[in-house]
Amino acid sequence: MSKIATAFGINKALDQLGLSEINEGTSTGLNHFGSGEIISSYSPVDGALIGKVKTTSPADYEKVMETATSSFKEWRLMPAPQRGEIVRQFGEKLRELKEPLGKLVSYEMGKSYQEGLGEVQEMIDICDFAVGLSRQLHGLTMHSERPGHRMYEQYHPLGIVGIISAFNFPVAVWAWNTALAWVCGDVCVWKPSEKTPLCGVACQNIIAQVIKENNLPEGISCLINGDYKVGELMTNDSRVPLVSATGSIRMGKIVAQAVAARLGKSLLELGGNNAIIVTPDADIKMTVIGAVFGAVGTAGQRCTSTRRLIIHDSIYDKVKDAVVAAYKQLRIGNPLDENNHVGPLIDTDAVSMYKKALEKVVAEGGKIIVEGGVLAGEGYESGCYVKPAIAEAQNDFEIVQHETFAPVLYLLKYSGDVENAIAIQNGVVQGLSSAIMTNNLREAERFLSAWGSDCGIANVNIGTSGAEIGGAFGGEKETGGGRESGSDAWKVYMRRQTNTINYTTELPLAQGIKFDL
């Protein structure tokens, strides 16, 4: 184990999470490991090997699916409040293990320790939400047009929910899906990112303990590991009625086509190209805080990261100078050290993508105003640390139209009224998160209206990054249209059924049809 890992207690965290022998790549249960090739997980923090897991072979996958299918038959019959009790216990385990799991998230993914703890807190919060939801899986009652008849609708579990998650939120997005799916009566099969496999194993260890303590079938929660080929087993499997996938637009289109070909359901959370509009009535201090955190938090590797700052020409220079000055105060380094603001990118492939983006914006006519670059030397041995960069650009630049999963912020200028800024913001294929900074009520309401922001998330006087679990999370256009977490997102994990009951001794037919026998 590296010096950093030792200094920040990673060994202890792994032991607390049941990963003390993870370097062996040995099996500790049906749903933990497979018999395929080995994935080695290296930390972007210091380049050290954290551990190894075996991938899921087709034969392993079949065993998992058989177990999940069998478990669903029992789990769906348990009353929803009792399923909620299991989720409550899972939330309690997460509270006990918040610190070690937060450390693992930070060390394996590279986000700051504070963000790692925050991600685990999101898991806890969604468990609390799901527990309450377990007593509120409601349907509607409707008046029948026929005398002596009653109509209502109810919701039933779908079956097996397949979950494909991305590296940037290696535990929270899984919990958003599973906590709701479990109380709805579904069982889950999860393929975490091959870039953060240990976080997946840690979560499976935690829920497996809860399942065992309650003498429930282990297939309620299953884990499969590997690359896109393992994901394809699930997206093409008719035994999986719903696939929830988080990742790039390219990946989402592949998943959507595969699932649609078998008339399955897909919940997609894909790319974002999120903008903050800054009007002449904006609070500049609030703007800087929201824009800088949104752009550099998680090293720009959030789907809600701020990519574009659309500034009115009358205050453009003032806002630009303030943001540039704030960037000079950023501390880049070991994310486990809470004094640092920015950690590493996930791997060197992400670094290459970052460098190409900066080259591309210059080639298209943009101007770099905060220089980027890859950091080297002591503390940066992994080769994954980069400087957050800012470029002046135009919205129609090809590079601006695409999502770059790195800390690159584009400054765009608009003139005239807020409609012009909204048109720029909406002028991309993605539609996840958006924000406006203004103290003008009319501008704010215009932004939130039907002819305003076309994104699934639209904020006023806060940034684009992050979301509360109480609201449904997701976006429109090529972001995929999916909704996870709060509000009525639970309905996607269930099938709707309309029921009509005749409590008379006659059978009147609809629309007055006569059919006498």
- Contact between 198 and 167 (Cβ < 8 Å): no
Give the contacts of 354 (CB within 8 A, at least 6 positions apart): 345, 372, 386, 404, 406, 407, 408
Same domain, 77 and 178: yes
pLDDT tier at 511, thresholds 50, 70, 90:
confident
State the CATH number of the domain containing residue 245: 3.40.605.10
State the CATH number of the domain containing residue 311: 3.40.309.10
Same domain, 117 and 154: yes
Q: Is residue 24 part of a domain?
A: no
Q: Is residue 319 part of a domain?
A: yes
Same domain, 90 and 138: yes
Percent of the chain with pLDDT strictly greater than 70? 97
What does pTM read for this prediction?
0.95
Same domain, 252 and 125: yes
Q: Decide if pLDDT at 174 tops 60.
A: yes
Domain limits for position 288: 274-472
Same domain, 263 and 168: yes
Q: Is residue 5 part of a domain?
A: no
Q: Is residue 188 part of a domain?
A: yes
Instruction: Using alpha carbons, select from 302, 301, 308 the residue that is nearest to residue 277.
Output: 308
Q: Is residue 46 part of a domain?
A: no
Same domain, 162 and 304: no
3-state secondary structure 274-322: EEEEECCCCCHHHHHHHHHHHHHHHHHCCCCCEEEEEEECCCHHHHHHH
Same domain, 202 and 302: no
Residue range 231-254: mean pLDDT, rounded: 98
Same domain, 147 and 192: yes
pLDDT tier at 22, thresholds 50, 70, 90:
low
Same domain, 214 and 199: yes
Token couple for 405: 């999963």
Residue range 165-190: mean pLDDT, rounded: 98
Same domain, 231 and 351: no
**Angle between the N-to-C axes of helices 172-183 and 197-213, in degrees from 0 to 180, rounded to the nearest 10:** 30
Same domain, 199 and 285: no
Same domain, 229 and 298: no
Three-state SS for 232?
helix
Q: Could you list the active site residues?
A: 269
pLDDT in tens, 438-484: 999 999 999 999 999 999 999 999 999 988 999 999 999 999 999 99
Instruction: Using alpha carbons, select from 448, 350, 376, 366 the residue that is nearest to residue 409.
Output: 366
Q: Is residue 112 part of a domain?
A: yes
Q: Is residue 517 part of a domain?
A: no
Q: Is residue 363 part of a domain?
A: yes
How many domains, in total, are found in the chain? 2
